[in-house]
Amino acid sequence: MLALGLRLLLAAPKMAAALGSGDAVNMFNAFNNAFLSNGSSTFYKTSLQNQSPDGYWVGALDNQAAEDAYDVTGDPAYKTLVNSLCETWIANNEPPWDYVNYNDDIGWDTLALIRGYRITGNQDFLNVAEYGFNFAYSRGWDTQSNGGGIWECQPSACGYSEKDALSNDSLGKVACILYQSTHNTTYLDYCRGIYDWVWNNIYDPSTGAMNFGVYPSGQVDTALNAYNQGTWLDYAGLVYEITGDENVKNDAQKVLDFARNNLTSNGIFSNQDPSLNTWADDMAHGVARFLSDNRLWGNYYSWVVDNANGILANRRPDIGLTWNAWNQLTPEDDAGIPSIYVSAVAWLWWTPTTQPDQRVGIHTIVNQETGLAIDSAGTFGNGAQVVQWALNNGQNQRWQLSQNSDTSWNIISLSTWESLDCPGGSTADNLTMIQWQPSRDDNQRWWIDLQSDGTYKIWNKQSGKALDGASATQNGAPLIQWDWNGGPQQRWILQ
């Protein structure tokens, strides 16, 4: 009896914790109930007790929970929330930031802002992110020691201490997203250049470990934690999306496996130090980015869900939030600060409630009739035509498919970083499709329906019309929409 009773007790939390479709929203609502101030201005509070806005870099990390909410769902209410949060953050933390000595702080600040720009299109967020990146890079990058790299803390304030993964990887990610946003190739050089420096100086390619940093002597600081591992994973995923470099994809795979095998307890992230691990947010979308882009969910889905179930089973009973040790009950600490809880919110957002199917990820989209691929032509700018072209393996023919919570799809070019867009949502037949800055409005949402022959019908949510190759066989032919008629010119193969 005793043995049976114990077994039931042990089994109970697992059953209660099975991941379901409302769990991410519920935990985000719990986070907002605990910490969101949404009166005359919108911000996350410092703690359960302290109602003032959370500090500048931690506040920026808090804001990423709302950015994750939007990225995963495409819900316009979250876009409004992100806009309000970033506006308040800038108003409370006006540049030039001379008082900020730590370059990684500027990394997190500008990361939240550039992600905010991608979500809202708010030019202020882009401007401040661009300012911040250039400020930190121009003062922090130093070739006098280690042949490059960015000082974690400015030598004027901290001496010649360390060049860390923290500052380099956060700012490197910002450089990548600045490139996606502006198409300015200077940022592509920084995106790749910082990556290569970290690879050579801090990363251990033999094991997949991202170490903490490097001293001017060249000696590596080998402290390990989930946030450095997660930021590097997400950074590698971004560099791979932008460059298509298979070596970088292999780095991402190794980094993920290292974290899973060496920085967890029985596979569960379990760091209970409240001052650390906020950056498991980066781990969450780094994991999802890698598994989605490369269509590898099948190999990792149960592990990702095990972590989500750990989060659900260990919520603090009073406010429904989970700390960073996802294998232990969250204490009811009155002084609770948002950064203790935000990683669990992020992990739930980025855990799909069912295993994603083969539509999720990076694809070439090929016409069944002609064999031509949908191609961005590398042409930047709102309104640029989308064309069809013979298969050439190039970035212009690579598209990232991701799903919104209404089950529609976003189709984003991996060379222009713009969305496939039906202009104005017009219902006209024979209309040429274009690219536009991602808005996730209905004219950028697509249904992608499997047909009995294994091809896909791809049709626009707003116009209701299907993508059609118009039987054109010449390179550069436009891509049009037409009423669905089931012909081979309207059937697409996802490769």
Ligand X SMILES: *[C@@H]1O[C@H](CO)[C@@H](O)[C@H](O)[C@H]1NC(C)=O
The tokens of 38 are what? 């949404």
| Helix (H/G/I), strand (E/B), else coil: 161 | coil
For the bound state, the minimum distance from the C-beta of residue 259 to ligand X, rounded and expressed in Å, comes to 8
Residue 164 binding ligand X, by CB under 6 A: yes
Q: Which residue is nearest to ligand X (CB)?
A: 150
Residue 38 binding ligand X, by CB under 6 A: yes
Q: Which of 137, 203, 232, 436 binds ligand X (CB under 6 A)?
A: 137
* Residue nearer to ligand X on the CB measure, 85 or 494: 85
| Span interacting with ligand X, options 148-156, 229-237, 284-292, 328-336, rule CB under 6 A | 148-156
Q: Which of 90, 150, 365, 448 binds ligand X (CB under 6 A)?
A: 150
| Span interacting with ligand X, options 85-93, 149-157, 279-287, 402-410, rule CB under 6 A | 149-157
CA–CA separation, 44 vs 51, rounded Å? 9
Residue 257 binding ligand X, by CB under 6 A: yes
Quick one: which of 354, 364, 368 has its CA closest to 400? Answer: 364
Quick one: which of 231, 494, 262 has its CA closest to 367? Answer: 494
* Residue nearer to ligand X on the CB measure, 137 or 326: 137
For the bound state, the minimum distance from the C-beta of residue 363 to ligand X, rounded and expressed in Å, comes to 26
Task: Find out whether 436 and 382 touch, Cβ atoms under 8 Å.
Answer: yes
| Helix (H/G/I), strand (E/B), else coil: 32 | helix
Say how many C-beta atoms besides its own lie within 10 A of residue 259's C-beta: 26
What binding mask, one character per residue, do residues 261-300 give for ligand X by CB under 6 A, x or -? xx--------------------------------------
For the bound state, the minimum distance from the C-beta of residue 217 to ligand X, rounded and expressed in Å, comes to 12
Residues of this chain, 167-226, that bind ligand X according to CB under 6 A = 167-168, 171, 184, 186, 194, 207-209, 213
Quick one: which of 387, 385, 358 has its CA closest to 450? Answer: 358
Say how many C-beta atoms besides its own lie within 10 A of residue 372's C-beta: 23
What binding mask, one character per residue, do residues 430-469 give for ligand X by CB under 6 A, x or -? x---------------------------------------
For the bound state, the minimum distance from the C-beta of residue 393 to ligand X, rounded and expressed in Å, comes to 28
User: Helix axis angle, 185-201 relative to 226-243, nearest 10°?
Assistant: 140
* Residue nearer to ligand X on the CB measure, 258 or 446: 258
CA–CA separation, 7 vs 4, rounded Å? 5
Is the peptide bond between 356 and the residue preceding it cis, with omega within 30 degrees of 0? no
Beta strand ranges found along 306-398 (DSSP E): 361-363, 365-367, 373-375, 387-389
For the bound state, the minimum distance from the C-beta of residue 358 to ligand X, rounded and expressed in Å, comes to 26
What binding mask, one character per residue, do residues 64-103 give for ligand X by CB under 6 A, x or -? -----------------x---------------------x
| Span interacting with ligand X, options 257-265, 333-341, 349-357, 410-418, rule CB under 6 A | 257-265
DSSP secondary structure string, 260-326? HHHSSBTTB-B---TTS-TTHHHHHHHHHHHHHHTT-HHHHHHHHHHHHHHHHHT--TTT----SBT
- With vertex at residue 295, the alpha carbon angle to CA 294 and CA 296, rounded to the nearest 5 degrees, is 90
For the bound state, the minimum distance from the C-beta of residue 172 to ligand X, rounded and expressed in Å, comes to 7
User: Which residues make up the interface to ligand X (CB under 6 A)?
Assistant: 32, 38, 81, 103, 134, 137, 140-142, 149-152, 162-164, 167-168, 171, 184, 186, 194, 207-209, 213, 257-258, 261-262, 430
